Chains A and B, each alone.
Chain A
Amino acid sequence: MQDHEQHVSDEELLLAADGETKVLAQRVQAHLEACARCRTRAAEMESILIDLAQTERSSLDAELPPVAGARAMLRVRMAELSIDRPGFFSWGRISGGLLPGVLGAATLAAVIVLVGVMVVRHFTATGASLLLSPDYGVLPNHMFTPGAARQASLAEVCTLSHEEVVTKVSPIERQKVFAEYGIPSAQSDRYEVDYLITPGLGGDDDIRNLWPEPYNAEMWNAHRKDVLEERLHEMVCSHHLDLSVAQEAIATNWIAAYEKYVPATPPQDRDAKLTFQRRS
């Protein structure tokens, strides 16, 4: 009974995973680090929720008509709405009803863009758990994967070729990683077990440096991480960045590191460069 009281309730696990109250999240995090049972439970809940979302999508998405028609319809209706209601906009009166439909549509486009930006900001600002977004799982759980580096000198890192340092992750190690993250074996083909700190930057062949990276991430996928790795390698070997700083940056939050170190070129250019430089 007392033992039961010490565990975290399902509600608390869910709320903490959603970042609800810092205090609770910290308490739950501390408990999870010590309690395998609650870790398993948390993974179980998360996994069933993801499965459910995917099930809903796979059973419904085929029925949904393309978005373009609906978008065009909405534009027409919004334009109509502004014609129907002259003076609907506060500045509508000033313009004396001059082409209200056209102006309305223009404002509307601005509003939609503005709202879109606000919503995106809101997501980023609240650090919305990427749960269930197409980019869910693109950052490793630091509890399981803090990152680990081997004793490697700068000279070693900069002279050895990629092929010389990368060792293939063994099936046993893969299984360990999936077990740790509570990923059922049936879903394991959705993930690549990847090094957090790449061996090319001195990353170690250690379970603390391995995590299941989802294949289907739209934005922050393995290709993008490769770009970051090459960039950091280049900076380290041209003495523009300390090896330890590069390792720390990629281990802490590789997406933030990407934003910080990869020059902001348009995505097409990056992709073109990527294809060009892609290691065999």
Chain B
Amino acid sequence: MFDQYRDPLLRYSVSFGVPVPDGEEIVQEVFLSLFRHLQLGRSRQNLRGWIFRVAHNLTLKQRYANKRLPAATQEDADIAAQRTDPRPNPEDACSDAQRQQRLLAVVRALPDVDQSCLRMRAEGLHYREIAGALGISLGSVSMSIARSLGKLIRADQG
């Protein structure tokens, strides 16, 4: 299970601007918590949602702590977010890398909860699992993702 989820969880953390070493620590903490959780005989329902919830909470906490220091990754994210331009010029639109940058910039400019929904979905979680992980309703998750995908599609089509 660790091998299966380490990369998805680490990607999740890092994509919120947490540096890789901090993200790695978060993933360790997630699995130690899971170990305790199971040993205490707690619910085994929606374990995927559960590990993402722990990772999500630790990630936001870590990001908040890091924000107090000038963190390069956060600045990068801000700069990228400013680059969000729904109408790129035609030459740029042809380039794959440009397109990727544009998509990422759109995502980084989304509210946290929308980013979370989208990233968890991108890691293959079901809507129900995402709802459990973020403590929001199934309807909110599908609305959030529909809204974000709409923005991405519009940005993509220019």
Q: List A residues at the B interface (Cβ < 8 Å).
A: 9-11, 13-15, 18-20, 44-45, 48-49, 51-53, 55-61, 63-65, 67, 70-71, 73-74, 77-78, 81, 88-89, 108, 111-112, 115-116, 118-119, 122, 126, 128, 131-133, 186
CB < 8 Å neighbour of A49 from B3, B35, B121: B121
Contacting residues, chain A, for B60 (C-beta < 8 A)? none
- B123: Cβ under 8 A from any A Cβ: yes
Contact A70 B24 (CB under 8 A): yes
Interface of B is mostly: helix
Contact B126 A52 (CB under 8 A): no
Contact B104 A55 (CB under 8 A): yes
Between A and B, how many residue pairs show CB distances below 8 Å?
129
Q: List B residues at the A interface (Cβ < 8 Å).
A: 1-4, 6-7, 10-11, 14-15, 20, 24, 27-28, 31-32, 34-36, 38-39, 44, 47-48, 96, 100, 103-104, 107, 118-119, 121-124, 126-128, 138-139, 142-143, 145-146, 149-150, 152-153, 156
Contact A18 B1 (CB under 8 A): no
CB of A104, distance to nearest CB on chain B (Å): 10
Contact B118 A52 (CB under 8 A): yes
Contact B7 A45 (CB under 8 A): no
> Can you name 11 A-B residue pairings with CB atoms under 8 Å?
A9-B146, A10-B146, A10-B149, A11-B146, A13-B146, A15-B142, A18-B126, A52-B122, A61-B7, A81-B36, A111-B38
Contact A64 B7 (CB under 8 A): yes
A15-B142, A56-B104, A111-B35 are contacts. A63–B20 as well, Cβ < 8 Å? yes
CB of B106, distance to nearest CB on chain A (Å): 9
Contact B119 A112 (CB under 8 A): no
Contact A60 B15 (CB under 8 A): yes
Contacting residues, chain A, for B14 (C-beta < 8 A)? 60, 63-64
CB < 8 Å neighbour of A48 from B128, B138, B149: B149
Contacting residues, chain B, for A55 (C-beta < 8 A)? 100, 103-104
Chain B residue with the shortest CB-CB distance to A111: B38
Contact A78 B32 (CB under 8 A): yes
Contacting residues, chain A, for B145 (C-beta < 8 A)? 14
7 closest cross-chain pairs (CB), A and B: A10-B146, A53-B122, A11-B142, A116-B1, A55-B100, A132-B124, A11-B146
CB < 8 Å neighbour of A112 from B1, B11, B107, B127: B1
Contact A71 B3 (CB under 8 A): yes
CB of A113, distance to nearest CB on chain B (Å): 8
Chain A residue with the shortest CB-CB distance to B23: A64
CB of A121, distance to nearest CB on chain B (Å): 11
Contact A74 B28 (CB under 8 A): yes
Q: In the complex the two chains form, what is the Cα distance from A18 to B117 in whole Å?
A: 14
A52-B152, A59-B104, A70-B27 are contacts. A20–B35 as well, Cβ < 8 Å? no
Contacting residues, chain A, for B36 (C-beta < 8 A)? 81
Contact B31 A56 (CB under 8 A): no
Contact A81 B6 (CB under 8 A): no
Q: In the complex the two chains form, what is the Cα distance from A122 to B34 in whole Å?
A: 17
Contact B39 A88 (CB under 8 A): yes
CB of B1, distance to nearest CB on chain A (Å): 4
Contacting residues, chain B, for A67 (C-beta < 8 A)? 2-3, 6-7
Chain B residue with the shortest CB-CB distance to A89: B39
Contacting residues, chain B, for A19 (C-beta < 8 A)? 126
Sample of 10 further A-B pairs with CB below 8 A, known A89-B39, A111-B39, A115-B34: A14-B127, A19-B126, A20-B142, A56-B15, A56-B122, A63-B14, A70-B28, A74-B28, A77-B28, A116-B4
